[in-house]
Amino acid sequence: MKALVLRRAVNVAVTVACGAMVVFAVAPLGSLLWLVVSKGVAGLSLSFFTALPTPVGEPGGGVGNAILGTAMLVGLACLVGLPLGIGAGVFLAERGDGPFGRAVRFTAEVFSGVPSIVIGIVAYGIVVVAMRRFSMIAGALALALLMVPTLARSTEELVRLVPGTLREASLALGVPAWKTSLRVVLRTAAGGILTAVLLAIARAAGETAPLLFTSLNNQYWNVRPDQPTASLTVQIFNYAISPYEDWHQKAWSAALVLLLLVGSLNLLARLALRRSAAGGRA
């Protein structure tokens, strides 16, 4: 009986401790979210999503060009970063046991610890200096470089989780190994990889430092990859460090817009996945 009482006491204590940890971890996030929503919502209007920025003191204006810029930067970064990152991850999981694979894995791990501003300098050195111009493509490259290592490592872990019996089933049907990796193994891991991709996109969309001296900024609409481009994060940065009250308000609102964009992208992708794998594994 005594043992049982003790066990119950320990159970309650650990449950309470775990709950306290959760509150402790979530509270700052919650308060941050609340801060952004409460301060940002005041500046939101339809034109904030569609209009160009206005000079100080002029009412109205928005971050339409920055929304487009962030979308294009992240889109271009995905075009380069997703195939590279996911491809490297599949390689590491399926063929990465040799010395080359170990070297790639080690590089990816070191790479993911490099500060994002350093990645920005790399993109500056490779693209901006060569083109003699700040450009969207330079910013997108910096973001892609940021995505690749973490995406490769998480893809590797997810692909390794796919049971070997599925691989065998496919090989026993006379399917070549490369097709088995891509069409059976990768497809089975797709749900998890989508989560990894969404996290990578969210991280890339929220990066400021690597864009400061690559895509720079732009007061106007731009769709040309070889031109400087506005982005939400750099716009927020510029507004936030300015001494003007109405720009501070715009920084809060732009931050809220960024949160909304990343959040809704997340929801949409999850809905799409649930529909495509109806009844299957999530």
Contacts with other proteins by CB under 8 A: the residue count is: 26
Q: Tell me the per-residue interface mask from 147 to 186 with other proteins, x by CB under 8 A, - otherwise.
A: ----------------x-xx-xxxxxxxxxx-xx--xx--
In one-letter notation, the amino acid at residue 99 is: P
Cβ(262)–Cβ(207) below 8 Å: no
Contact status: 188 vs other proteins (CB under 8 A): yes
- The CA distance from 129 to 265, in Å, is 34
Nearest approach, Cβ of residue 168 and other proteins (Å): 7
User: Closer CB to other proteins, residue 153 or residue 167?
Assistant: 167
Residue ranges in 54-113 that form contacts with other proteins under rule CB under 8 A: 97
- The CA distance from 40 to 48, in Å, is 11
Q: What distances in angstroms separate CA 102 from CA 12, 96, 110, one per listed residue? A: 44, 7, 12
User: Closer CB to other proteins, residue 190 or residue 260?
Assistant: 190
Query: φ and ψ at 14, to 5 degrees?
Result: -70, -40
Nearest approach, Cβ of residue 96 and other proteins (Å): 13
- The CA distance from 73 to 50, in Å, is 18
In the chain, the N- to C-terminal Cα span, in Å, equals 44
User: Closer CB to other proteins, residue 248 or residue 270?
Assistant: 270
User: Of residues 187, 224, 264, 268, which one binds other proteins by CB under 8 A?
Assistant: 187
- The CA distance from 244 to 42, in Å, is 16
Contact status: 282 vs other proteins (CB under 8 A): no
Residue ranges in 205-264 that form contacts with other proteins under rule CB under 8 A: none
In one-letter notation, the amino acid at residue 72 is: M
Interface with other proteins (CB under 8 A) = 97, 163, 165-166, 168-177, 179-180, 183-184, 187-188, 190, 277-281
